[in-house]
Amino acid sequence: MSTLTFTHIGGPTALLEVEGWRLLTDPTFDAPGRTYSFGWGTSSRKTAGPALSVEEVGAVDAVLLSHDHHADNLDDAGRAMLAGVPTVLTTVPGARRLGAPAQGLHPWEATTLTHPDRPTLTVTATPGRHGPVGAQVLVGAVTGFGLTWEGQEHGAVWVTGDTVLTSDVRRVPERLDVGTVVVHLGGVRFPTTGPVRYTMTVVEGRELCRAVRPRTVLPVHHEGWSHFLDGPAALQRPELAPDGGTTVWADPGRPTAVVV
């Protein structure tokens, strides 16, 4: 039996510790107050800082980066820390932009992390779409990550990354036996693009979890930025997991233990 220690740092950023591995998702460590441009007339203000600094997080084995081109997933301080990380896994175009040590993965492509004193960790890229049909041309590619290792009892740990609820995302459990979901929410929307959403809302997150039926749901990417328009719904900390499952709205900076 394995135990995942999950520490939500803020926004999409979380530290995942399991079987000696330390993985960080979407590093965002800038101070609050600044407004960032996301292109095509869109922008967002960072309203909350990280619960832990880069120094407090310490050394990590890998960064799981859903995409590199939006500051709410990789800001300046997060980008600077990548130089000290041995492995950065992200999208194929993202790896081209970032250069070494970034490695790009196509959807359903897998790679392994190895260490003599730990079980081999397999990381599989999962599909995502950061907006409506056709949005990838303007918004860019995104990816999620499935984590599996020998001795795992309750299914993969799946980090959805920034995505809306698509048919490909719904079908992830057909190829990946999921036990724990780190689900990106926020219902991202911008005034210049009207009602179009770029990430899942709480309602869509619940719908996905009803299809996946994980044991544990860990919501992230729902606070700390002005474009997270589903924030009030998230503040009510609703149950997203299906019957028999558990939703953990982790307080930033406080480690949570999850049996995986």
Give the pLDDT confidence of 214-241 residue by residue, as tens digits.
999 999 999 999 999 987 778 789 999 9
* Superfamily grouping for domain 3-259: Ribonuclease Z/Hydroxyacylglutathione hydrolase-like (3.60.15.10)
Task: Give the DSSP letter of residue 221.
Answer: S
CA–CA dist 179, 183 (Å, integer): 12
Q: Which residues pair with 24 in a beta bridge?
A: 15, 63
pLDDT at 118: 97
pLDDT of residue 73: 98
Give me the residue spans of the domains in the chain: 3-259
pLDDT digits (tens, 9 = 90+) for 39-63: 878 899 999 999 999 999 999 999 9
Question: What sign for the dihedral angle of Cα 57, 186, 6, 151?
Answer: negative
Q: Per residue in 111-153, pLDDT tens?
A: 999 999 999 999 999 999 999 887 776 779 999 999 999 989 9
pLDDT (mean) for 66-77: 97
149 touches 122 (CB < 8 A): yes
Smallest CA-to-CA distance from 196 within 40, 36, 67, 12 is with: 40
Spatial contact of 223 and 11, defined as CB atoms under 8 Å apart = yes
Q: Comparing 230 with 82, which gets the higher pLDDT?
A: 82
Predicted structure pTM score:
0.96
C-alpha 231: how far from chain center: 17
Average pLDDT, the chain: 95
Q: Give pLDDT, residue 137.
A: 67
